[in-house]
Structure 1
Amino acid sequence: MAQELREMIRHTETDLLFNHSTRVYFFGALTGKRRRLRFDHELLYVGAMFHDIGLTERYQASANRFEVDSANAARDFLRSHGIPERDVEAVWDAVSLHTTPGIPEHKQAEVALLTSGVEMDVMGLAYEQFTEAQRNAVLAAYPRGDSFKNDIIGAFYNGMKHRPNSTFGTVNDDVLAYRDPHFQRVDFCKLILESPWSG
């Protein structure tokens, strides 16, 4: 299953996203090992490999949050392999919640570790908790490149610019605001104040 998934993602995602997704798995797994958590490596791997597939060209017509498209793709893959529904649900949660700070760390290990891996690879959170040897080994196998920071923001933007309303209430609207000077954030307080309710 893992080999099939690797080949599928390798041919679906750019090198940027494929390498990022693989590093997310390794950083998540290393975090789990350091914290002595019990987790399913295969489920974490599936979540990591699928977590950004919703940013790819396949989903350019979707109005969903890209995380939902990614989670649905992971769910379909796991079901096609007869994986128990409780495990499918854990991966769905891990993928769908990976851009929602403050929630994943309170869920099962695979959910928390996927987000930890993303946070390490994208923002360097907990960077010092990994040894230099660990960081170097992961980067040697799956390089970031010299322009990863700008490239990943570009990949996020390209995967979401056609569905700006899907970014409301997430970290994703920061990406659109950064890349598009005409992007207008939805204001939650304005929605409340301008609702049809009288009081």
Structure 2
Amino acid sequence: MDFSLDLPTGPLADAVLSAVRTSETPPVVNHSLRSFFFAQLLAAHEGCLADSAYDRDLLFAATVLHDLGTGSLAKGEARFEVEGADLAADLLRQHDVPEADIDRVWEAIALHTSPGIAERRGLLCHLTRAGVGADFGRTAEIVSPWEQRIHAEYPRLAMVRSLVDAIVERAARSDAAAPRYSLGGELLRERRSDGVTTLERAAASCPWGE
């Protein structure tokens, strides 16, 4: 299949990129952009590109903004997925995105760490979680023909450790940001008890590395 590293253009796309580049660490920004490209590759593999529910601009917004709750815009007043979804919705609203589409992006971001749920909440939720997962090595066999080009443009920069650091730092700010069995809550507890998290240990077996 044809594959391009071109990004969407226009005021909304520019605002999305500005939001992450000014509030997140470079490793998390690169992770979010790789997630977008991996999500597109998986959509093509699954034959979804012609689906009426497929919207490349919304997929860009959802994947690139999915960790906005780990950046400096987040206050740590709710779990990072929800806080990030709220921040993303505010940004999209400023650009007159229809409320129904804002709700789809909100849901995709809020559920991206919820296996077994995101996959049942429509194509955007499914592809967002799948793209993020591919950057952690899931479905590596599908995206591997293109991963070297993607990683050359957007290197990993010890992404897993940087992302966990950001999630844990915000989870530590309030009980509401670290509820039991949420990703942030569990990573915070693991860091406090063991000094290292299962997510960081799992990075050792990721085909792309940390």
Category of TM-score, reference length = shorter chain: 0.7 to 0.9
2:114 to 92, 100, 111: 100
1:44 to 54, 59, 62: 59
1:167 to 179, 188, 193: 179
Provide the C-alpha distance between the structure 2 equivalents of 1:35 and 1:10, rounded to a whole number of angstroms.
30
Q: Which amino acid aligns with 2:192?
A: D
Provide the C-alpha distance between the structure 2 equivalents of 1:119 and 1:164, rounded to a whole number of angstroms.
27
Provide the C-alpha distance between the structure 2 equivalents of 1:32 and 1:179, rounded to a whole number of angstroms.
35
Tell me the equivalent position of 1:86.
100
Greater Cα offset, 168-177 or 50-59:
168-177
- How many angstroms does 1:21 deviate by? 0.9
Provide the C-alpha distance between the structure 1 equivalents of 2:149 and 2:13, rounded to a whole number of angstroms.
21
Say whether residues 1:59 and 2:74 are aligned partners. Answer: yes
Provide the C-alpha distance between the structure 2 equivalents of 1:21 and 1:107, rounded to a whole number of angstroms.
21
**TM-score, with length taken from structure 2:** 0.78
Q: Which amino acid aligns with 1:26?
A: F
Runs of 4 or more above 6 Å deviation: none
Tell me the equivalent position of 1:127.
140
Gaps in structure 1 of 5+ consecutive residues: 184-199
Tell me the equivalent position of 2:132.
118
- Give yes or no for contact 1:104–1:111 (8 Å, CA) kept in 2: yes
Count of paired positions: 179
Greater Cα offset, 163-172 or 49-58:
163-172
- Give yes or no for contact 2:62–2:109 (8 Å, CA) kept in 1: yes
1:26 to 37, 48, 51: 37
- Give yes or no for contact 1:13–1:53 (8 Å, CA) kept in 2: yes
Q: Which amino acid aligns with 1:152?
A: L
Deviations along 1:63-82, one digit per CA (max 9) or x if unpaired, are 21111111111111111111
Deviations along 1:25-52, one digit per CA (max 9) or x if unpaired, are 1111111111011311110111112211
Q: Which amino acid aligns with 1:172?
A: G
- Give yes or no for contact 1:55–1:160 (8 Å, CA) kept in 2: no
Q: Which amino acid aligns with 2:84?
A: S
Provide the C-alpha distance between the structure 1 equivalents of 2:194 and 2:44, rounded to a whole number of angstroms.
44
- How many angstroms does 1:182 deviate by? 8.5
Q: 1:136 to 1:81 in 2, by over 3 A?
A: same
Q: Which amino acid aligns with 1:131?
A: S
Tell me the equivalent position of 1:192.
none
Q: 1:77 to 1:148 in 2, by over 3 A?
A: closer
Gaps in structure 2 of 5+ consecutive residues: 1-11, 196-210
Provide the C-alpha distance between the structure 1 equivalents of 2:28 and 2:55, rounded to a whole number of angstroms.
23
Tell me the equivalent position of 1:35.
46
Provide the C-alpha distance between the structure 1 equivalents of 2:16 and 2:28, rounded to a whole number of angstroms.
14
- Give yes or no for contact 2:80–2:171 (8 Å, CA) kept in 1: yes
**% identical equivalent positions:** 30
Provide the C-alpha distance between the structure 2 equivalents of 1:162 and 1:182, rounded to a whole number of angstroms.
19
Could you say what secondary structure the match of 2:112 adopts?
Answer: coil
